[in-house]
Amino acid sequence: MCKCLHLGPPRIPILGSYWALLKEDYYFSHRSTELVAKRYNTDILGIFLGPAPAIIPFGYDLCKEVLTREEFFGRNDTILTRGRSLGDLIGIFFVDGPYWKEQRRFSLRNLRDYGFGRRFATTEEHMEKEVRDLIELFTTEPKPEDKDICRERGQLLMPDTLFAPILNSILYMLVGRRFDNQEVREIGRGIMRFLRSGDGTGGAISLAPWLRYFAPNFFGFTPVVEENKRFTKFFQQQINEHKVNLTDDHQADLIDTYLSKLEELKRENETETTFSEKQLIWTLIDFMFPAPVAIGQTLNCLWVYLVNYPEIQERIQEEIDRVVGRSRLPNLDDRKDMPYTEAVIRETLRKDPINPLGISRRCMQDTYLRGYFVPKDTVILPHLWSACHDVKKWKDPENFRPERFLNRHGDLLKKDYTIGFGAGKRLCAGETFSRQTMFLLVSGLLQNFSFAPADEMPDPKKKIWGVLLSSPEFWVKAISR
């Protein structure tokens, strides 16, 4: 016999059960939902976000099940998901069904030709140059154009310092060139402003879209629209430049490949298609967008732990010296021989999941979850924070302990249980790129420097609320080894 979802707090007009979350913790939705679930003694919390039914599964096993079941692969159509693409529901992140499958498959298949998600010599050479430029930035007097991130020699602002190498690495594959560091740093900051403009549930603006007319800044609507206009303008300019030089025998990046596809469809008079120039813009945005988020913010958290626990730095440096030495930079061939460095990255991903309620999902058909009936169009918010802090999986989740990913011989465990990038067919397309980039940045910088806080010691527990959970920016001091 099936069970009805326990609905938890009572509903009120407009907000539904959302008021109860605000009451528990106004800023951090992952905390408020956890407190409400404990009050009702359930690991599948049922609430209403306005009129829409929603479920929040807790714990590793439940979250993993939700993330991998196809009936939970849908996305939600909200004022924010449309507002960020200026009225349309396009791109990769917030679409589903055949549209999502076709666009994702085409993009990934062609991006692989330029090194996305696999080993590619040209891409690795480009990344090595970015690391060398970072090392130079850490060791020389700051240039006038770098004063925003470098206040004096060896003192830099995290994670803003990392935005340029991270973004230029992905943009190299998307548009075939690198950009001025100041320009891409501002793009990274714009992405962060966007992701700090709401909360993990979508917030009041999704429940009552008319609020954008009364207080658009307060409810996060203005940053969504303004920052995404900036991204649209940036990529439209790149597309226009590519059109001038487009030929069938010269395709150097995703824009070239996609424009060639549009030309092919035009020659065939194909009108019923998911391909369009506007879709291309938002595909580019959706591949660029996670770079300063998944990589930049994870590394910001990692550096907070490094300066708080210098013994972890020392152990990584010992591993680098033993495996790589000092005559060259670490490369991806070294990754398999550096289990402790990899374990530190994994532990950061586990301890501080940057998206603690995941990207909201939509149930695409009537179904059941652990005996509970889940109707079609139910909103699903997988509580990734609880999955990453589940005592059944991690034993002592409150501790930052990289050794949990190593066996008794010091080798890396084959199974990686971190699910910050998601799981199943909607796994983040950039996971491999992100992990490779994090390894190269961490190992390259720690080979050459030890790090300490330039000001007060950053608190690992201090976070900034928003759709993204992030650590505050802080100044770090690099000490040459």
With 0-12 CB in 10 A as exposed, 13-18 as middle and 19+ as buried, what is 241?
A: middle
Question: In the beta sheet, which residues pair with residue 474?
Answer: 158
pLDDT (average), residues 120-127: 86
Rounded CA-CA distance 337/350 in Å is 22
pLDDT, tens digit (0-9, with 9 covering 90-100), for 20-60: 888 888 888 899 999 999 999 999 999 988 888 999 999 99
Which residues contact residue 324 at a Cβ distance below 8 angstroms, ignoring those fewer than 6 apart?
A: 330, 334, 443, 447
Q: Name residue 130's amino acid.
A: E
As a whole number of angstroms, the distance between CA 137 and CA 305 comes to 22
Q: How far is CA 272 from CA 257, 280, 281, 418, in A?
A: 20, 16, 19, 40
pLDDT confidence of 202, banded at 50, 70, 90? low
How confident is the model at residue 209, as a pLDDT? Answer: 67
pLDDT tens track for 125-138: 999 999 999 999 99
Q: Mean pLDDT check: name the lowest of 191-200, 224-233, 346-355, 472-481.
A: 191-200
Report pLDDT for 216: 62
- The predicted pLDDT at position 344 comes to 98
Report residue 193's pLDDT band, with 50, 70 and 90 as the boundaries: confident
- Cα–chain-centroid distance for residue 110? 21
Task: Give me the torsion for CA of 187, 193, 196, 200, rounded to 10°.
Answer: -50
Range 208-216 average pLDDT: 64
Taking only the tens place, the pLDDT of each residue in 273-331 is 999 999 999 999 999 988 888 899 999 999 999 999 999 999 999 999 999 999 999 99
Structural domain boundaries of the chain?
18-480
pLDDT at 1 over 50: no
245-254 pLDDT, tens digit per residue, is 887 777 789 9
Q: Is the pLDDT of residue 66 over 50?
A: yes
Burial class (CB in 10 A: 0-12, 13-18, 19+), 391: exposed
pLDDT at 163 exceeding the cut of 70: yes
- The CA distance from 76 to 89, in Å, is 10
- When pLDDT is averaged across residues 339-354 and rounded to a whole number, the result is 97
pLDDT given at position 247: 76
Looking at residue 218, its pLDDT comes to 59
Between the alpha carbon of residue 58 and those of residues 42, 45, 62, 248, 386, the distances in Å are 9, 8, 6, 50, 6
Residue 2 has pLDDT above 60, yes or no: no
Whole-angstrom Cα distance, residue 293 to residue 337?
27
Q: Could you give the C-alpha distances from 93 to 291, 362, 382, in angstroms and in order?
A: 14, 13, 16
More confidently predicted of 282 and 77: 282
Q: Tell me if 428 is assigned to a ligand binding site.
A: yes
Task: Give the pLDDT of residue 273.
Answer: 94
3 state SS for the chain: CCECCCCCCCCECCCECHHHHHHHCCCCHHHHHHHHHHHCCCCEEEEEECCEEEEEECCHHHHHHHHHCHHHCECCCCHHHHHCCCCCCCCCCCCCHHHHHHHHHHHHHHHHHHCCCCCCHHHHHHHHHHHHHHHHHHHCCCCHHHCCCEEECCEEEECHHHHHHHHHHHHHHHHCCCCCHHHHHHHHHHHHHHHCCCCCCCHHHHHCHHHHHCCCCCCCHHHHHHHHHHHHHHHHHHHHHHHHHCECCECCCHHHHHHHHHHHHHHCCCCCCCCCHHHHHHHHHHHHCHHHHHHHHHHHHHHHHHHHCHHHHHHHHHHHHHHCCCCCCCCHHHHHHCHHHHHHHHHHHHHCCCCCCCCCEECCCCEEECCEEECCCCEECCCHHHHHCCHHHHCCCCCCCHHHHECCCCCECCCCCCCCCCCHHHCCCCHHHHHHHHHHHHHHHHHHEEEEECCCCCCCCCCECCCCCECCCEEEEEEEC
pLDDT reported for residue 460: 95
- pLDDT for the residue 170: 94
At the second CATH level, the architecture of 18-480 is Orthogonal Bundle (1.10)
pTM of the model: 0.93
- Which of 73-87, 155-169, 373-387, 432-446 shows the lowest per-residue confidence on average (mean pLDDT)? 73-87
What is the pLDDT at residue 233? 93
Average pLDDT score over the chain: 90
Average pLDDT of 55-67?
A: 96
